[in-house]
């Protein structure tokens, strides 16, 4: 690691002013991506501003129709929650036990790793990302590979999810890293169905063609009829674009089947 | 940077670099070399310790993040004359060979059992996915954790 | 002695007390006062000329103590890293060996090859210094693809066609004749995937130099500290052996990768002498991926000729073996004498001809990895036997049975230079079939099909030659060292025993197993036997641990030493009891005189040896401490039957191993608990090769699978629980009748898994590893 100044502010204001005063600051939430990056000297921030001391950012609140998950809430806490079982199940599949004990929802979605799990739920559920500046709809949040709608210095404070009627997440884990090769989150909200896909593209996206097919009958048999262009999908030694295309379909079928 | 952490029940006030990792503080400052470092991508799990009651990879925790925390390492859970049930089960079931992954494996397994109810074989296998062992093929580790679960729950 | 701690008992391990409490002492746990830290600058290119190296900025970096280049080492008379086994080509010429300086001098040949070492007051300072190096590389086209390497750019000036040797074994004419008579010929083209060993403890070294005595001390993660010392002294020229002590403390797994003498410990011990300060290095995992010797990596075409009734008539094998960029310590022997010699397998194939071309590529050096040549051989033999069975419509178990070497055939001389001493292959297969419920497979397959899954079963009846090795045989075939072992049994004054073995335990449990055999033979309580190992300062010249040799060779040396102890003890007891020596007997720790009630305990005799009041000093030296060297007269031949059953999800290509049965014949077993553990670990590595692990370079020679994010290590949830059992035909030529168990799991299992996968899919072949995408594609086309 290169040298940096470590800070642990107690409030969001303090965090923001530390960031404003830093040459090249970075926020630290769970550190599950940032710390390995620092260790390999792939980043050289002047200041690391740890959000772990801001107690207000942690915890899950049930608001009736929605739940709010504080940005610093660890995956393990979400996994143990019961307001949205599919979200809990998703959180329980992130990384490994140790990642779940440290990693946070805010850190995960702010990073917009194409293979992260949470983004599938963020785009599939009616969700809102609350920040120190504003509220961003979940569908507008992910902008590309490791790119989000967040401005410089803006901090996610919580993620609010509307409770679906029912939902399921099906994941095909990368055999080595345990990130998602593909993850598909299917959420039924009344008559509508939303399908979020992670792992396949530069960032999570909605599979609107499948959503349209499902509108005329909620069945796994809708999947083969839904168009899906895999030509631009991610490819690596574990899965070609074509195989990812197949996995998106299979995971979608399995998520749908589990809801029937 | 000054930090104070409680390690294995002992308060420690330390002056460490801002970029120090908890694993390095434990190994190099406190001489607790039972916590091992086996990778640089937070995958192998040889460095797992308990921090405020949760199993964490100490190679992926900054010392600053551990400021004020209670940390338990492999050295803090038992000794040869008074082994933790998980340590005893690892020995009884030959769940270790070279011993390098063992401290992290034991610390993970303890947290897994403490936070689960009636783990079966698959539950143990899933729960230990964050710890690599190259010697045992995991067969005897799984046996040991299931045996220790009985001992820990009946204790 | 049938007791709780003797031979055959599942004794709990002595070494566990420290490992489970965090009290193990691995190399990185050891520090020296005033130590510095080494960081290696590593080539970012697979092949490049190093036209210049500006050290100024690195040297000026705060906290940097020194920067050394390959030229510095050469100027100081430091030699190349040698390859210890000279293989000869078909034409009788010795293999062509490229220069292998520990630190590259003017060219680099694989990504990760060190081209400078920076020593810092802290690790961070050394890293900063390494980053400040300004290297002027001129990148050259990399040779990566093994299949085309012989016709690609020449990597080393003195190595035409990138070929170190073109080797053959067996009778070509007889094999051609066998094929001419064949009723059926099965052909198989297979790739044995490159593996990266990944012991969980990364390699490390701490070098120290004492200017007053001129003594160098190297703590390092070696499986064979004496070999390390020999190479560093005799070839690298650090210092004479007498002034160089190598200590391998607790070592966190080796699997072959810690046999070899590498650049890093060489540079560390040399720099310690130069700087007169301790120098410490520990690999980061990313360095382990790049710079540990890799394993396997063959491209093979094999053909099996069969008679109408399925009798094997002949086997032809042609293999390209990847050596990587340089010849690592034992690299040349792995695809030849540890590979071609195993092509008979468990079968009476009368004619076999094997050709192996070993080629250089711009990739990390390849050397022995658990099994070393024998897994590759088993993969060829057992895949092609299974293929032939399917093609001829003969049950694969039955085809094997028809061709097994029968128990009455031993000793059996194979057409590929080995003489098997004993075995009963039918017995292990029968037991495995029973455990696997072969009879019930059809019903299970039907149930899987009803659930939309594909189920398959695969066999592997492997043999290995281990217990390396008869020295004269090995030396006649090109080995540069003897392959005996040394053991010393020091009886203490009060009758406890300190054992010093030349074998090294990095997980194999010598402290327990060797204590069991000594306790058993001498009747000394198990608790009173302490086993020391891993220190050239403690033991005579020794050969260390690899090739499943510790018990068969190292254990035999201890038995020889123990026999000497007993013989001397009898002399002492005869004197003390005023009896004839021939009438003194020794059993269960007591010397007795035949036809009398006189006896002495072992501690009484030991005490008399060291306090020689009533002692025949004129005939016998005092003391009771004996040493023996044991050179095995033959290899040992563990063999067994592995049966794997898989269920495949054709939609995702995920392979689930529903059962894995391993029935192995290791001869007599000293500690069944430990033997089972060795099998489990080997199985995990063999299954890992079949389904998960793959060292992948891209076309420019960058290692794509260079971390645990991309190299799939077997995890707990990837593997089943195993069914492990044994049969016993004792080895005929060592005192314990043991064969060795360390590699069998990795040797036998891979073929069983791939046979099961191809059986499930109904296809002839699936590339290895059978990853989800690979299997999915095969399922699409099946």
A chain contacts of residue B108, beta-carbon cutoff 8 Å: 97-98
Question: How many residues are listed for chain C in this entry?
Answer: 782
ipTM higher than threshold 0.95? yes
Chain C stretch 179-218, residues whose beta carbon is closer than 8 A to a beta carbon of chain B: 198-202
The pLDDT of B93-102, averaged and rounded, is 98
Instruction: Please give the Cα distance from A126 to A159 (Å, whole number).
Output: 11
**Mean pLDDT for chain C?**
97
Compute φ and ψ for C594, nearest 5 degrees. Answer: -60, 145
Domain final residue pick, B76, B95, B113: B76
For residues B35 and B67, membership in a common domain is answered with yes
Q: Determine contact: A257 vs chain C, CB below 8 A.
A: no
Smallest Cα–Cα separation from C747: which of C517, C503, C464? C464
Whether pLDDT at C533 is above 60: yes
Smallest Cα–Cα separation from A26: which of A198, A177, A150, A159? A150
Smallest Cα–Cα separation from A172: which of A253, A97, A259, A102? A253
C chain contacts of residue A243, beta-carbon cutoff 8 Å: 653, 772-773, 776-777
For residues B92 and B123, membership in a common domain is answered with yes
Check A38 against B19: CB less than 8 A apart. Answer: yes
When pLDDT is cut at 50, 70 and 90, the band that residue B153 belongs to is confident
For residues B12 and B40, membership in a common domain is answered with yes
Choose the closest CB to A237 out of C124, C653, C696.
C696
Element (H, E) at C657: strand C654-665
Q: What CATH number should be reported for the domain whose range is A5-53?
A: 3.30.43.10
Query: For A82-93, how does the pLDDT look when each residue is reduced to its tens digit (9 = 90+)?
Result: 999 999 999 999
Domain final residue pick, B58, B76, B94: B76
Give the pair of three-digit tokens for residue C447: 């149930």
Question: How many residues are listed for chain B in this entry?
Answer: 155
Smallest Cα–Cα separation from C689: which of C718, C713, C721? C713
Query: For C27-37, how does the pLDDT look when each residue is reduced to its tens digit (9 = 90+)?
Result: 999 999 999 99
Measured CA angle at C71 (ends C128, C274), to 5 deg: 70
Under DSSP, the state recorded for B26 is: I
- Which pLDDT score, from 0 to 100, does residue B155 have? 66
Query: For C205-253, how does the pLDDT look when each residue is reduced to its tens digit (9 = 90+)?
Result: 999 999 999 999 999 999 999 999 999 999 999 999 999 999 999 999 9
Smallest Cα–Cα separation from A107: which of A67, A57, A145? A57
pTM reported for the whole predicted model = 0.98
The pLDDT of B95-118, averaged and rounded, is 97
Element (H, E) at C572: helix C556-577
For the CA atoms of A30, A34, A36, A41, the dihedral, rounded to the nearest 10 degrees, stands at: -150
The pLDDT of C651-669, averaged and rounded, is 98
Let me know: does B58 contact B65? Beta carbons within 8 Å: no
- Which pLDDT score, from 0 to 100, does residue C782 have? 77
Let me know: does C69 contact C55? Beta carbons within 8 Å: yes
The pLDDT of C499-522, averaged and rounded, is 96
Element (H, E) at C538: none
Smallest Cα–Cα separation from C364: which of C653, C50, C704, C640? C704
Give the percent of chain C with pLDDT over 90. Answer: 99
Q: Which domain holds residue B31?
A: 2-76
Query: For C583-638, how does the pLDDT look when each residue is reduced to its tens digit (9 = 90+)?
Result: 999 999 999 999 999 999 999 999 999 999 999 999 999 999 999 999 999 999 99
Sheet (strand C639-649) strand order: C454-463, C639-649, C654-665, C723-727
Domain final residue pick, B25, B51, B76: B76
Q: Using alpha carbons only, how large is chain C's radius of gyration in Å?
A: 27
Residue ranges of chain A that CATH labels 3.30.465.10? 55-162
Let me know: does C646 contact C752? Beta carbons within 8 Å: no
Whether pLDDT at C487 is above 50: yes
Query: B: neighbours with 3+ CB pairs under 8 Å?
Result: A, C
Question: How many residues are listed for chain A in this entry?
Answer: 260
The pLDDT of C765-772, averaged and rounded, is 97
| CATH number of the domain that residue B11 is part of | 3.10.20.30
Choose the closest CB to B56 out of A48, A101, A178.
A101
Choose the closest CB to A176 out of C651, C710, C773.
C710
Give the pair of three-digit tokens for residue C444: 């299970």
For residues B95 and B69, membership in a common domain is answered with no
Give the pair of three-digit tokens for residue C695: 């060292």
- Which pLDDT score, from 0 to 100, does residue C3 have? 72
Nearest-Cα distance to chain B for C727, in Å, is: 21
A chain contacts of residue C696, beta-carbon cutoff 8 Å: 237
The pLDDT of C258-273, averaged and rounded, is 98
Residue ranges of chain A that CATH labels 3.30.43.10? 5-53
Instruction: Please give the Cα distance from A123 to A161 (Å, whole number).
Output: 10
Whether pLDDT at C671 is above 90: yes
When pLDDT is cut at 50, 70 and 90, the band that residue B154 belongs to is confident
Ranges assigned E (strand) in B9-150: 10-15, 48-51, 54-57, 70-72
Q: What CATH number should be reported for the domain whose range is A166-257?
A: 3.30.390.50
For residues B104 and B59, membership in a common domain is answered with no
The pLDDT of C496-515, averaged and rounded, is 96
Whether pLDDT at C294 is above 80: yes
Domain count within chain B: 2
- Which pLDDT score, from 0 to 100, does residue C781 have? 86
Q: Determine contact: C686 vs chain B, CB below 8 A.
A: no
Give the strand pairing for C36-42 and C279-282: parallel
Kindly list the distances between the CA atom of residue C23 and the CA atoms of B25, C301, C535, in Å, as whole numbers in the listed order.
17, 50, 19
> Domains in chain C, please, with CATH?
16-22+484-630 (3.30.365.10), 31-140+201-252+258-291 (3.90.1170.50), 295-469+634-781 (3.30.365.10)
C contact test, residue of B35, B72, B98, B126 with most C CBs within 10 A:
B98
Chain C stretch 284-303, residues whose beta carbon is closer than 8 A to a beta carbon of chain B: 284-286
- Which pLDDT score, from 0 to 100, does residue C1 have? 43
Instruction: Please give the Cα distance from C367 to C658 (Å, whole number).
Output: 32
Query: For C309-347, how does the pLDDT look when each residue is reduced to its tens digit (9 = 90+)?
Result: 999 999 999 999 999 999 999 999 999 999 999 999 999
Whether pLDDT at C770 is above 80: yes
Residue ranges of chain A that CATH labels 3.30.390.50? 166-257
Q: pLDDT tens for chain A, 260 residues: list them.
A: 999 999 999 999 999 999 999 999 999 999 999 999 999 999 999 999 999 999 999 999 999 999 999 999 999 999 999 999 999 999 999 999 999 999 999 999 999 999 999 999 999 999 999 999 999 999 999 999 999 999 999 999 999 999 999 999 999 999 999 999 999 999 999 889 999 999 999 999 999 999 999 999 999 999 999 999 999 999 999 999 999 999 999 999 999 999 99
Q: The domain at A55-162 falls in which architecture?
A: 2-Layer Sandwich (3.30)
Compute φ and ψ for C322, nearest 5 degrees. Answer: -90, 120
- Which pLDDT score, from 0 to 100, does residue C727 have? 98
Query: For C207-217, how does the pLDDT look when each residue is reduced to its tens digit (9 = 90+)?
Result: 999 999 999 99
């Amino acid at each position: 690691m290169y040298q940096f100044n470590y800070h642990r502010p107690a409030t969001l204001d303090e965090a923001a002013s530390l960031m404003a005063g830093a040459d090249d600051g970075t926020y630290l939430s769970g550190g599950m991506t940032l710390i390995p990056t620092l260790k390999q000297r792939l980043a050289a921030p002047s200041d690391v501003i740890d959000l772990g001391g801001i107690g207000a950012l942690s915890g899950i609140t049930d608001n009736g129709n929605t739940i709010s998950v504080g940005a610093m809430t660890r995956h393990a806490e979400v996994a143990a929650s019961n307001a949205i079982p599919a979200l809990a199940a998703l959180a329980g599949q992130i990384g490994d036990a140790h990642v779940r004990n440290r990693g946070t929802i805010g850190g995960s979605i702010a990073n917009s790793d194409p293979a992260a799990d949470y983004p599938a739920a963020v785009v599939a559920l009616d969700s809102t990302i609350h920040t120190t500046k504003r509220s961003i709809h979940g569908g507008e949040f992910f902008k590309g590979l490791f790119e989000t709608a967040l401005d410089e210095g803006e901090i996610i404070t919580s993620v609010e999810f509307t409770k679906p009627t029912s939902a399921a997440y099906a994941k095909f884990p990368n055999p080595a890293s345990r990130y998602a090769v593909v993850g598909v989150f299917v959420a039924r909200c009344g008559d509508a169905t939303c399908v979020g896909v992670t792992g396949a593209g530069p960032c999570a996206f909605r599979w609107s063609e499948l959503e349209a097919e499902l509108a005329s009958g909620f069945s796994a048999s809708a999947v083969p009829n839904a168009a899906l262009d895999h030509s631009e999908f991610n490819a690596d030694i574990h899965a070609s674009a074509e195989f990812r295309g197949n996995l998106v379909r299979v995971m979608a079928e399995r998520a749908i089947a589990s809801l029937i | 940077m000054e930090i104070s952490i409680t390690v294995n029940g002992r308060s420690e006030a330390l002056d460490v670099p801002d970029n120090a990792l908890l694993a390095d503080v434990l190994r190099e400052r406190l001489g607790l070399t039972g916590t091992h470092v086996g990778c640089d991508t937070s995958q192998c799990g040889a460095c797992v310790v308990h921090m405020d009651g949760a199993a964490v990879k100490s190679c992926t925790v900054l010392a600053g993040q551990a400021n004020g925390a209670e940390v338990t390492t492999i050295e803090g859970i038992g000794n040869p004359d008074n082994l933790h049930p998980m340590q005893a089960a690892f020995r009884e079931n030959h769940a270790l060979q070279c011993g390098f992954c063992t401290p992290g494996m034991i610390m993970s397994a303890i947290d897994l059992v403490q936070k689960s109810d009636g783990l079966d074989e698959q539950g143990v296998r899933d729960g230990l996915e964050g710890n690599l062992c190259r010697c045992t093929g995991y067969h005897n580790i799984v046996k040991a954790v299931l045996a220790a679960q009985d001992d820990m729950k009946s204790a | 002695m049938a007791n709780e701690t003797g031979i055959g008992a599942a004794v709990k391990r002595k070494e566990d007390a420290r490992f489970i409490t965090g009290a193990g002492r691995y190399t990185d746990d050891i520090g020296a006062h005033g130590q510095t830290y080494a960081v290696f600058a590593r080539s970012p290119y697979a092949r490049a000329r190093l036209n210049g190296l500006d050290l100024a900025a690195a040297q000026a970096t705060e906290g940097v103590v020194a920067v050394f280049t390959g030229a510095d080492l050469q100027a100081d008379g430091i030699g190349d890293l040698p390859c210890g086994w000279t293989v000869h080509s078909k034409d009788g010429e010795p293999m062509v060996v490229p220069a292998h300086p520990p630190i590259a001098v003017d060219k680099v040949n694989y990504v990760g090859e060190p081209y400078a070492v920076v020593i810092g007051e802290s690790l961070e300072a050394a890293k900063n210094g390494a980053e400040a190096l300004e290297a002027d590389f001129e990148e050259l086209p990399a040779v990566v693809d093994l299949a085309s390497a012989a016709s690609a750019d020449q990597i080393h000036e003195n190595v035409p066609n990138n070929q170190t040797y073109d080797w053959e074994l067996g009778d070509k004419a007889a094999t051609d004749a066998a094929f001419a008579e064949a009723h059926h010929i099965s052909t198989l083209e297979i790739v044995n995937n490159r593996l990266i060993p990944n012991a969980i403890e990364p390699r490390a070294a701490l070098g120290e130099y004492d200017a007053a005595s001129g003594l160098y001390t190297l703590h390092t993660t070696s499986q064979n500290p004496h070999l390390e010392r020999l190479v560093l002294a005799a070839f690298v020229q650090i210092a004479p052996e007498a002034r160089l002590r190598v200590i391998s403390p607790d070592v966190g797994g080796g699997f072959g990768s810690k046999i070899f003498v590498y650049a890093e410990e060489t540079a560390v011990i040399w720099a310690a002498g130069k700087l007169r300060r301790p120098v410490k290095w520990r690999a980061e995992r990313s360095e382990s991926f790049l710079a540990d010797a890799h394993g396997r990596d063959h491209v093979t075409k094999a053909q099996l000729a069969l008679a109408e009734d399925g009798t094997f008539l002949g086997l032809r094998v042609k293999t390209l073996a990847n050596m990587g960029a340089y010849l690592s310590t034992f690299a040349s022997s792995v695809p030849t004498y540890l590979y071609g010699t195993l092509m008979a397998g468990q079968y009476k194939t009368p004619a076999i001809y094997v050709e192996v071309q070993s080629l250089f590529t711009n990739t990390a050096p390849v050397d022995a990895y658990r099994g070393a040549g024998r897994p590759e051989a088993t993969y060829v033999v057992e895949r092609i036997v299974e293929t032939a069975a399917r093609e001829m419509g003969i049950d694969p178990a039955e085809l094997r049975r028809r061709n097994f070497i029968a128990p009455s055939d031993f000793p059996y001389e194979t057409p590929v230079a080995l003489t098997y001493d004993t075995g009963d292959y039918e017995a292990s297969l029968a037991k495995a079939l029973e455990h696997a419920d072969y009879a019930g497979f059809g019903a299970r397959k039907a149930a899987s099909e009803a659930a939309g899954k594909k189920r398959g079963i695969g066999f592997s009846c492997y043999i290995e030659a281990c217990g390396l090795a008869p020295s004269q045989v090995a030396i006649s075939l090109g080995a540069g060292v003897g392959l005996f072992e040394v053991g010393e049994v020091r009886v203490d004054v009060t009758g406890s025993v300190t054992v010093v073995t030349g074998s090294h335990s990095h997980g194999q449990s010598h402290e327990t197993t060797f204590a069991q055999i000594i306790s058993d033979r001498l009747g000394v309580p198990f608790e009173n036997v302490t086993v020391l190992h891993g220190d050239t300062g403690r033991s005579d010249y020794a050969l260390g641990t690899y090739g499943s040799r510790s018990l068969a060779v190292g254990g035999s040396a201890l038995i020889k030493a123990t026999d000497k102890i007993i013989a001397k003890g009898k002399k002492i007891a005869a004197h003390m009891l005023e009896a004839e020596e021939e009438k003194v007997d020794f059993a269960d720790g007591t010397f007795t005189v035949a036809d009398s009630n006189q006896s002495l305990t072992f501690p009484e005799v030991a005490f008399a040896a060291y306090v020689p009041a009533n002692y025949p000093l004129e005939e016998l030296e005092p003391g009771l401490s004996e040493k023996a060297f044991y050179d095995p007269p033959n290899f040992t031949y563990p063999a067994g039957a592995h049966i794997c059953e898989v269920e495949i999800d054709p939609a995702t290509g995920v392979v689930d191993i529903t059962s894995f049965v391993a029935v192995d014949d290791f001869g007599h077993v000293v500690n069944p608990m430990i033997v089972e553990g060795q099998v489990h670990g080997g199985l995990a590595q063999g299954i890992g090769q079949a389904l998960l692990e793959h060292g992948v370079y891209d076309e420019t020679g960058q290692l794509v699978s260079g971390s645990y994010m991309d190299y799939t290590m077997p995890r707990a949830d990837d593997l089943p629980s195993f069914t492990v059992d044994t049969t016993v035909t004792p080895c005929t030529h060592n005192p314990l009748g043991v064969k060795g168990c360390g590699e069998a799991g990795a040797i036998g299992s891979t073929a069983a898994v791939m046979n099961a996968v191809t059986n499930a899919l109904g296809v002839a072949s699936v590339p290895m590893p059978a990853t989800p995408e690979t299997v999915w594609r095969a399922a699409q086309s099946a």
